Structure 1
Amino acid sequence: MSHDDSYILMDEMDPTPEESKNSSIKQTALQEFRTKQISHWILLVVSSISMLLGFPASSLLSRVYYNNGGKSKWIISWASSIGWLIPALILLPIYFFFHIKPTPLNWKLIVSYILLGFLNAIDSLMYAYAYSYLPASTASLLASSSLVFSVLFGYLLVNNKLNASILNAIVVITAAVVMIGLDSNSDRYGDITDREYIFGFMWDILGSILHGLIFAVSELVFIKLLDRKSFHVVLEQQVMVSLFTFLFSTLGVLMNDDFREMKSEAASFVGGMSSYLVVIAWSAVSCQLGVLGGTAVVFLSNTILAGVLNAVRVPITSIGAVMFLKDPMSGFKILSLFTTFWGFTSYIYGSSSISN
């Protein structure tokens, strides 16, 4: 072999900077996988699926409620909180069979649970307003902005790192939200006024801001107060936070005198009382499933992955809304959906680069 040939062979064998980076990312991911027990990955997969099933189902049911004659904003947001007994019924046998003692409560933990419960109650109410005025597909696309706020609050509260790819994702997803605003006349329901549509848009964005804040505060509680000791603390937090969410939502319903209106609302509901109760019940189950999955993902991973999965539910909800609720799918909305995918891809790439 000549001297020149050896240089050619060395050039062919030397990896490019991009190949080296990808190889390093793969090695880091493989090392991360090997350092965790298989039970960790099983729980993470189950929790992710719970998010991707629960949140879209809850969103679609909110729109079904309003499509079929529901009027109250407080009732449908209250319905999302009455499932707090579900994690409690899962937690109690764990205490008994695994001989686990409940985490001692202190004033910091109690204040954190009350704060998260209050934020969840307000968040549910904001989304109830959004879904009362907007088609489910539009509302879900706007809710993709929660990824942006998950990043920002994760950076401010939990010191999650940022890079150019993640900042690019923020810009791209913001552009996708703007596209929905530019296309406001194509998907508006006939009985919705300009003012109501703008309010729906505004409440959806504000709800997304709170959603991102809730993820970050939940992770902060796990890091600072619960030390990520064991998975049962996920259920403990969910029980306590959901209980306070239920109490705040119930107070809102009582102050608005909506419980008295439920009987007449159910009587005029499409399908009658039975259909009304089915929608309320499944709203409670699906929302609790999504929130429990999200809390578990934050515990098992971080706010970053929870934000990504929360955003991934956008196409699932949009497709479900088009298939089952006959939502319109305009050119702008399709472009916004593809732009959102672009933002997700940039965000995932940026996150993997940071982990490297």
Structure 2
Amino acid sequence: MFYDSVESMEAEPSIQSDTVRAQLSNFTAMITEAYKRKPIHYWILLVLSIMAMVVAFPASSILSRVYYANGGQSKWIISWVAVAGWPITALILFPAYFISKSFPTPLNIRLSLSYAILGFLSAADNLMYAYAYAYLPASTASLVASSSLVFSALFGYFLVKNKVNASILNAVFVITAALTIIALDSSSDRYANVSDREYIMGFVWDVLGSALHGLIFALSELIFVRLLGRRSFIVVLEQQVMVSLFAFVFTTVGVIVSGDFQGMAHEAKTFNGGRAAYYLVLIWGVITFQLGVLGATAVIFLGSTVLAGVLNAVRTPITSIAAVILLNDPMSGFKILSLVVTFWGFGSYIYGSSTGQKPS
């Protein structure tokens, strides 16, 4: 009996190792098969798009905080930076027509009005986020902004009739809990030059900006479903160009009316690091934000919305860690807990989205 039990104990690890080995083999075979189904240029474009998304978006967030930390004051200028790079997308769109041998989507009154409304909402959204980065550490602002996933799920359910399952509902509650943790620990990461009222307002503007971002995402999807009836790479780029163009117009008017555009010369003179550093921060802010938008657009088209969700989840800790390393952002135990909880919420949302989709 003793020898039989010893042999069975030795057999169990062997069976488990065989099972793990089989799972690894199946996973490797699945990856190899997926790789062979697509040409090499597809994977190159996908990798470049992923890199653009996970590097450019955190970089633009860090640059926004660098602007305010070194003497920048204007919220309108940072909002303008977020949309000033729209010609970059337009330069990619025009050659895409020739490559795909397609024509621009005809503009009618309803579609033009929809783009104008989305452009106005995007301009307002960027302004709200500018207030958030003016008063909050970059790591905190990025964690709070992750709540846009909650609002995307809610608005997607009510406006586009997207399915919501238990995993997605769990993600909504978990990410809301993460926001509560950040709010309870507000005294630990407030900058000395930021008052309690400004910190609270930064938090509120961040949440409102996230809610508006979720609404914009749902309305964009509604345009694809109701007005265009299709979703292709060309159509996605067209919408991005038109919405960014309208947002650029609205924001430019705001910058001029507020007097901030005229005050850029004075701001550059008093900026820590000098005039050259000031303009470099703004120029790289324009480039990185637009590269992030292009990367996200390409990932959704080449991969899936689930993959974009995964990368959006990865982007949050990258921004937080980069802010701690580069900007010496405070990282309390509560903030670490909030980061872990947020990541858990993203994982639950991604799982719920993937199980609700039909396999391609």
Same fold (TM over 0.5): yes
Q: Name the CA shift for 1:302/1:228 in 2 (closer, same or farther; >3 Å).
A: farther
Q: Post-superposition shift, 1:121?
A: 0.6
Q: Post-superposition shift, 1:226?
A: 3.1
Superposition map of 1:241-320 within 5 A: 241-299=243-301, 306-320=308-322
Normalising by structure 1, we get a TM-score of 0.85
Q: Post-superposition shift, 1:299?
A: 5.0
Paired AA for residue 95 in structure 1: Y
Q: Which residue of 1 aligns with 2:107?
A: 105
Q: Name the CA shift for 1:98/1:35 in 2 (closer, same or farther; >3 Å).
A: closer
Structure 1 residue 164 and structure 2 residue 169: aligned?
A: no
Paired AA for residue 57 in structure 2: F
114-123 or 44-53, larger mean C-alpha shift = 44-53
Cα deviations by residue, 1:168-192 (Å, 9 ceiling, x for unpaired): 1111111011101111111100011
Structure 1 residue 124 and structure 2 residue 126: aligned?
A: yes
C-alpha contact 1:146 1:307 (8 A) present in aligned 2: no
213-222 or 270-279, larger mean C-alpha shift = 213-222
Paired AA for residue 264 in structure 2: M
**Contiguous gaps of at least 5 residues in structure 2:** 1-29
C-alpha contact 1:141 1:337 (8 A) present in aligned 2: yes
Q: For 1:44 and 1:213, how far apart are their aligned partners in 2? A: 27
Q: For 1:195 and 1:49, how far apart are their aligned partners in 2? A: 37
C-alpha contact 2:313 2:343 (8 A) present in aligned 1: no
Structure 1 residue 224 and structure 2 residue 226: aligned?
A: yes
Q: Post-superposition shift, 1:90?
A: 1.4
Normalising by structure 2, we get a TM-score of 0.84
**Contiguous gaps of at least 5 residues in structure 1:** 1-27
C-alpha contact 1:154 1:304 (8 A) present in aligned 2: no
Structure 1 residue 203 and structure 2 residue 205: aligned?
A: yes
Q: Name the CA shift for 1:308/1:74 in 2 (closer, same or farther; >3 Å).
A: same
Q: For 2:93 and 2:305, how far apart are their aligned partners in 1? A: 23
Q: For 1:36 and 1:184, how far apart are their aligned partners in 2? A: 48
Q: For 2:73 and 2:180, how far apart are their aligned partners in 1? A: 28
What secondary structure does 2:334 align onto? helix
What secondary structure does 1:351 align onto? helix
Q: Name the CA shift for 1:95/1:351 in 2 (closer, same or farther; >3 Å).
A: closer
143-152 or 295-304, larger mean C-alpha shift = 295-304
Q: For 2:300 and 2:151, how far apart are their aligned partners in 1? A: 15
Q: For 2:32 and 2:156, how far apart are their aligned partners in 1? A: 25
Q: Which residue of 1 aligns with 2:330?
A: 328
Cα deviations by residue, 1:272-312 (Å, 9 ceiling, x for unpaired): 11111111111111111222333444556666654553343
Superposition map of 1:108-187 within 5 A: 108-187=110-189
Alignment: residue pair count = 332
Structure 1 residue 74 and structure 2 residue 76: aligned?
A: yes
Paired AA for residue 267 in structure 1: K
Q: Post-superposition shift, 1:220?
A: 2.0
Q: Post-superposition shift, 1:51?
A: 2.4
Q: Name the CA shift for 1:176/1:114 in 2 (closer, same or farther; >3 Å).
A: same
Q: Name the CA shift for 1:155/1:45 in 2 (closer, same or farther; >3 Å).
A: farther
C-alpha contact 1:150 1:304 (8 A) present in aligned 2: no
CA RMSD, 1 decimal: 2.7
Q: For 2:241 and 2:152, how far apart are their aligned partners in 1? A: 23
C-alpha contact 2:50 2:296 (8 A) present in aligned 1: yes
Q: Post-superposition shift, 1:103?
A: 1.5
83-92 or 194-203, larger mean C-alpha shift = 83-92
Q: Which residue of 1 aligns with 2:27?
A: none
Percent of aligned pairs with the same amino acid: 65
Q: Name the CA shift for 1:325/1:60 in 2 (closer, same or farther; >3 Å).
A: same
Q: For 1:89 and 1:184, how far apart are their aligned partners in 2? A: 43
Q: Name the CA shift for 1:35/1:150 in 2 (closer, same or farther; >3 Å).
A: farther
Paired AA for residue 100 in structure 1: S
Q: Which residue of 2 aligns with 1:343?
A: 345
